Amino acid sequence: MSKIFEEVRFPHVTFKNHVARSATNDYAGNEDGTVSEFQMGLYRELAQGGVGMIITGHYAVCPLGRNDIHQNALWDDSFIASQRRLTDMVHENGSKIVAQINHAGAKAQAAAIGGAQPVAPSAVEVAPGVMPRALTAEEIAQVEDDFAAAALRAKQAGFDGVQVHCAHGYLFSQFIDPAHNKRADAYGGSVENRFRIVEETLRKVKAAVGGTFPVFIKIHCNAVEGDAQFASDLVYMLKAAAALGVEAAEISGFDFAKQPRDKRLYYMERARRAREASGLPVILVGGIRTLAEMDEVLDGGLDMVSLSRPFVCQPDILKRLQAGESSKCIGCFGCFSCYQKTGKRCVLH
């Protein structure tokens, strides 16, 4: 049997297998930020399908950081009861669930933030035609506090950990990427400065939730500008995260949606080198479809695999692979827009 189905242990949490459902924005939450019945059904299917580690779609840590009007939220204690209902259900169905917490930064949609001007590290356009304003140092400190408060609420709601989102062009991703961070203060310039907001946030999160509550990060491993230097910067950031007690980093890339349909293991080699140089456990996401590819990831020295689109296509894909079937996911980009446009979760459904 593939080693994918064996237990995997991190310092403060154990998962029943080496497979994570990568955070996937389903655009299906209630407009008040609570968990919808439709989402309860989605997560129930994933838990019953045998996923070891379910990572939720990103949860907004504050109203100004909300990505869209159907995004779930954790900026207030009133959300805890709704999330407790979700975690209880996932646990009853034999899986563990980690809350991804996030601030959309310059990607926040106007309708989701009441028409306010979005914020970012610098006044650099991310969403076409929308110019964000640069955060002040005082506002940066408040964002960090918002992440810590959201993490504590996740713990109180029964989650098995939190994942701080530092990828895919959202606020923390914008800070660590030189193409979007043009600051000249303590939060811009060197990798130490660009990663400062993440380090300070992780310290505050750990202080809020305690030393034994699992904290993960998700981070992109490449960059539009200065990609070779960013590979070196990634090692620094992973080492810093490890020193702060992060359990593992899920590694993705800024260009995952642009990868050719037939390409596989998009970020494998860079993730492998970063894992070896930093010592921090790594969860790889991007272009993983078969058991052979999953085993290749583990054989390459990485610690878990993470899938998104295959679970959109077939929530029970793990059981199907274990039974000798193949994934039906064709690697299209439809699931990034199908639901918003048609209500379909996958072009095959």
From residue 134, give the alpha-carbon distance in Å to each of 75, 142, 166, 187, 254: 21, 14, 18, 11, 21
Digit-coded pLDDT (tens) for 215-254: 999 999 999 889 999 999 999 999 999 999 999 999 999 8
| CA separation for the pair 281, 300 (Å, rounded) | 12
Distance of CA 317 to the CA centre of its chain: 20
User: What pLDDT score was predicted for residue 322?
Assistant: 86
User: What pLDDT score was predicted for residue 338?
Assistant: 67
Residue 349 confidence (pLDDT) above 80: no
Cα end-to-end span (Å), the chain: 30
Distance of CA 163 to the CA centre of its chain: 6
The backbone region for 94, taken as left when phi is positive above 0, alpha when psi lies in -120 to 50, beta otherwise, is: left
| Backbone torsions φ then ψ of 71, nearest 5 degrees | -80, 135
- Tokens 């058991």 -> residue: 291
Percent of the chain surpassing pLDDT 90: 83
Mapped onto helix, strand or coil, the DSSP state of residue 243 is helix
Out of 3.90.1330.10, 2.60.120.380, 3.20.20.70, 2.40.50.140, select the CATH number for domain 3-342: 3.20.20.70
User: For the residues 276-295, what does the mean pLDDT come to?
Assistant: 95
Domain ranges (residues) in the chain: 3-342
Kindly report the average pLDDT of the chain as a whole number. Answer: 94
What's the pTM?
Answer: 0.95
User: What pLDDT score was predicted for residue 161?
Assistant: 98
User: What pLDDT score was predicted for residue 59?
Assistant: 98
Query: How sure is the predictor about 57, in pLDDT bands with cuts at 50, 70 and 90?
Result: very high
User: What pLDDT score was predicted for residue 337?
Assistant: 66
Digit-coded pLDDT (tens) for 313-336: 888 989 988 888 778 777 766 666
| CA separation for the pair 313, 254 (Å, rounded) | 22
User: What pLDDT score was predicted for residue 294?
Assistant: 95
Residue 66 confidence (pLDDT) above 80: yes
Percent of the chain surpassing pLDDT 70: 95
Digit-coded pLDDT (tens) for 147-175: 999 999 999 999 999 999 999 999 999 99
| CA separation for the pair 285, 301 (Å, rounded) | 14
Q: Is the Cβ–Cβ distance between 122 and 137 less than 8 Å?
A: no
| Backbone torsions φ then ψ of 167, nearest 5 degrees | -135, 175
Q: Is-catalytic flag, 170?
A: yes
- Which tokens go with 100? 């991804």
C-alpha triplet 137, 139, 143: angle, nearest 5°: 115
User: What pLDDT score was predicted for residue 192?
Assistant: 98
| CA separation for the pair 182, 176 (Å, rounded) | 10
User: For the residues 116-120, what does the mean pLDDT come to?
Assistant: 98
| CA separation for the pair 264, 185 (Å, rounded) | 39
Residue 342 confidence (pLDDT) above 80: no
Query: How sure is the predictor about 275, in pLDDT bands with cuts at 50, 70 and 90?
Result: very high
Q: Is the Cβ–Cβ distance between 226 and 140 less than 8 Å?
A: no
Residue 347 confidence (pLDDT) above 70: no
Residue 124 confidence (pLDDT) above 70: yes
User: What pLDDT score was predicted for residue 121?
Assistant: 98
User: What pLDDT score was predicted for residue 235?
Assistant: 98
Digit-coded pLDDT (tens) for 5-20: 999 999 999 999 999 9
**Which one of the listed residues 27, 43, 59, 170 is annotated catalytic?**
170
User: For the residues 85-109, what does the mean pLDDT come to?
Assistant: 98
User: What pLDDT score was predicted for residue 255?
Assistant: 78
